Structures are given as structure tokens and as C-alpha cells.
Amino acid sequence: MNIAVLILCMMLVTYIPRVLPAFVVEKMRFGKRFGKFINLIPYTAMTALIFPGILGVDAERWYIGAIGGVIAIALACFKKIPSSLVVLASVLAVMVAYWII
């Protein structure tokens, strides 16, 4: 029973800080520059997730990671495409590059 309570408390401690900003930020009004900064955060997070993978895909065939990176950059330029689809497309491009090359 103690472990279940501990797990529940740990869940709340990590869940509340993640959910609370979503409700607070939604009601706040930001200036034009700060609003643009907030809108660019998903793209910077995507870059931080993808770039290390580009460098570490395959040391001998570095160009396979570069192919995935180019696909991700090209698709990220279209701001209407969700970030999850950009990541999925770059992963698929790397997989296809492995099969072809």
C-alpha cells in the first residue's frame, strides 16, 4: 500500500507542473515578440531532439542522418505541418535511406 501511495504522489508531483502552465498560459496575453517566441518553442524542441540523432545515426554513413535532417528541415518550413509528422517523416526517410543505400 505504501508503494502505491508513493507512486501516486510521484505522479502528481510530475503531472501538476506539466498541466498547470497549459491552463495559465492559455488565459494570458503576450506581446507580439514574446508571442512569436512562444510559437517557436515546438520547433526548437524538435531541433534539440533530432540534431543529436542526425550526428549519431551511423558513424560510417553520416549522410543517412543528413538525409533525415534535410527532410525534417524542409518539412518544418511548412508551419502548417504538425511537429509529430515532421519527426515521423524524417524517421521514415532514414529508414528508406538504409534500405536503398
pLDDT for 42 equals 79
* Range 66-82 average pLDDT: 88
Tell me if 83 sits within 8 A of 43, measured CB to CB: yes
Q: Which of 42-51, 65-74, 75-84 has the lowest mean pLDDT?
A: 42-51
Residue 49 has pLDDT above 80, yes or no: no
Grid coordinates standing for 12?
502528481
C-alpha span between 98 and 101 (Å, rounded): 5
* Range 75-81 average pLDDT: 85
